Amino acid sequence: MRENLPGGPQPTEGSRLAPAALWPGIEAARIALEPIKWGEAPQISVAGDTGAGKTTALLAIVEEFLRMCPGIVIVIDDKGPRTRYVGHERRDMADLRANPLPRADPRRVIVFRGEVLKRIDADREEITKYAWDMAVRGKKVLLVNDEAKHKSIVKNRQWLKGVSYIPDGYTKGREVGLGNLWASQGWDDMPDEPCSQCVTVLHFKTDGDGLSKLRENKLLRGGAEAMIPRLHAMDSPPPQRGDFVCLVRGRDWNRKVYKFPA
């Protein structure tokens, strides 16, 4: 059922494709997590311009994953002085080994933070290896990269030397139980593996020129390419931001625009 969310976009002369009301974002989160019902690990991208609402979507997907299955969520979030993810915060794998998770604590989220104030990033390859090892032992894992296109692992659409667990996590994760949820401002500078293996994209506003790689991966079917530039981001008042479309590989766009509550 559609909801009239405050501040949502309304049809105007310049945005005739926009719906009269927005659909609840949780519906899109459940579409993205459908593979769990089939015993497979989800492969999800959240993409779009800065300030459009990507982190809000990531948080909602994490909560729904925890509700749907008894798995664990491993988050890499070393962008700012504070994280919005609720879980056990650790600097890196060495910190986790020195300070194991309490057995009695029901939280199933680990947030690797690096040392933001010292500009020390979390080691994405080492953390992905940890997630991979846990998955192959039979634990369902959702690995969340709040910024997938990171300078420590990618340059010029290529993985840097020594990076192997991350691309393997994308190409083989579905079978071994390692789910990937990654965010990026766009696909244009990403290596091929996360793009070709992504099943569902929650896409926020971006310029039409930034959609070429989605087009190559046959994810822009049914008119979504015309809608995405009409969504809202930093060029709109905050109450209007946060609207997005849900793109699923092999399906036409369902003509819905979604939004999570603020």
The ranges assigned to domains in the chain are: 23-259
Residue percentage of the chain with pLDDT more than 90 = 69
Strand order in the sheet with 141-145: 23-24, 258-259, 243-248, 200-203, 43-47, 178-184, 141-145, 72-76, 109-112, 88-90
- d(C-alpha 242, C-alpha 219), whole Å: 20
**Tens of pLDDT along 82-136?**
899 999 999 999 999 999 988 777 789 999 999 988 889 999 999 999 999 999 9
Q: Would you mind telling me the total number of residues written for the chain in this entry?
A: 262
- d(C-alpha 240, C-alpha 216), whole Å: 30
CATH architecture for the domain at 23-259: 3-Layer(aba) Sandwich (3.40)
Lowest mean pLDDT among 11-15, 208-212, 250-254: 11-15
**C-alpha 85 chain-centroid distance:** 13
| Higher-scoring residue by pLDDT: 43, 213 | 43
Structure tokens at 74: 């491993």
**Tens of pLDDT along 48-92?**
998 899 999 999 999 999 999 999 999 999 988 889 999 999 999
Tokens 């909602």 correspond to 60
**Tens of pLDDT along 174-206?**
889 999 999 998 888 889 999 999 999 999 999
Average pLDDT, the chain: 89
What confidence tier does 20 reach under pLDDT thresholds 50, 70, 90? low
Judged against a pLDDT cut of 90, whether residue 14 lies above it is answered with: no
Residues with Cβ < 8 Å from 206, sequence gap 6 or more? 47, 48, 49, 185, 186, 228, 229, 233
Q: Identity (one letter) of the amino acid at 62? A: V
| Higher-scoring residue by pLDDT: 11, 229 | 229
- d(C-alpha 191, C-alpha 176), whole Å: 21
166-176 mean pLDDT:
92
